[in-house]
Amino acid sequence: MDKLIQEIHDEAFIIDAHYDLLFDVAKQRALGRTKVIETDHLPNFKKGGFNLIVSSIFEDDEFIPEMVLHKALNQVSALYAEIDESPDELMFCKSYEDILEAKHTGKVGIMLSFEGVEPLYQDISLLRVFYELGVRFVGLTWSRRNFAADGCHFTMEEEDRGGGLTQFGEALVKEAERLGMLLDITHINDRGFKDVFRFAEGPIIASHSNSREVAKTPRNLTDEQLKKIAERGGVAGINILSRIASGKAGEGDIDLIADHVEHMKQTVGVDYIGLGLDCCDMLRKYFPPSDDEAFDILKHQNLQDLTKKLLERDFEKEEIMKIYGGNWLKVYGKVF
C-alpha cells in the first residue's frame, strides 16, 4: 500500500482550496520577518505533495468596519512580497494557465479568495480592484453578517439570523461572475445559499464544508445542498477542523474525515468532492487559550494518512486523484 500511496501523491495535482495563510503571513511580516511561507509553510506543503493553495483574505471582528479594507490590502501586499522573496519556490496564480505553469515549473501556486466580502463595504466597484490584484474566489460571508448576506452559526442550537442575500449581495454575485470569479457559499446561511443559486448562473463551490448528515452543524451542507452544487458543476471541499468535521470542537479523527468523503460519494459521486482543509492550528498563537478549542484532525504534511484511510475503504486511485485536485481543476478551467 505504501507504494500506491506514494504513486498517488506523485501523480496527483493536489489542491487545498482553503487555508488562512495570509492571516499568519501578514502578522509575521509585521514582526519584521521575511520569507514566511518558504520557511514556515512550504516544507509542509511539499511533504504532503500540495501543488496549489488557495489563501483566504480574512480579518477579525475588531477591524470591522473601519480597518478591514486596510488589513485586506496588507494581506495582499504581503503575498506579493513573499512571491518576490521566493521566486523559485512560489508562484502567484491568477489564471488556469498560471496554475498549470506552477505545477510544470515545480513551484507551489498560491491563489487568493475572499472569506467574507467585508473589505468591499457596500462599494461594488472595489470588487474590480481586488480582481486586478489577483483575487479569483468570492466567499460571500464568514459566519457573521456583512453588507452582502448573513453568515451561518456554528451550532444547530443557535437561531438562524434568517436573512438571505441583500440587494448589494445580488449585484455582487452577478458582478463576480461577469469578472470571471468563482462564487463560494461556505459560511453562508441556508437562505443565502438558495439566493446565490437563484441569482448565479455558473458553477458554485463550497470551498471548506462537510456533510451535515455526518456532523450536525450549519457550517456543513445538507444532502440537498450537495446535490445543488453538483448540478451546477461545482465542488465541496472536505474540512478537517474538528468543530466542522464533528460538530464539536474537541472531537474527531481521521476515520471521521473519511466518513464525510464516503457520504459525499454516496450522495453525489466522487466528481464533486475536493479538499478545503481549513488548517487552523498555526493560528492558535494569536488567540487566548480556550477550553473548547478546535484542532486540525489532519495537517498538510500528513495528507498521506487520509490517502491510506481512503484506500482501506476501497477508494480507487483515480477517485482519490479526483478528490485531491482533479475536480477543482475541472471547475477552475471553466471559470478562469
pLDDT digits (tens, 9 = 90+) for 171-197: 999 999 999 999 999 999 999 999 999
**Per-residue DSSP letters for 229-282?**
HHHTT--EEE--BHHHHTSSTT---HHHHHHHHHHHHHHH-GGGEEE-----GG
Q: Residue 48 has what pLDDT? A: 97
The grid coordinates listed for 176 are 463576480
Element (H, E) at 204: strand 204-205
The grid coordinates listed for 195 are 439566493
Mean pLDDT of 215-228: 97
Query: What residues contact 242, with CB distance under 8 A and at least 6 apart?
Result: 248, 249, 250, 251, 252, 294, 295, 296, 297
User: Which pLDDT band, with edges at 50, 70 and 90, does 291 fall under?
Assistant: low
Which SS3 state, helix, strand or coil, does residue 15 take?
strand
The grid coordinates listed for 115 are 472569506
Q: How many residues does the chain have?
A: 336
pLDDT tens, position by position, 96-152: 999 999 999 999 999 999 999 999 999 999 999 999 999 999 999 999 999 999 999
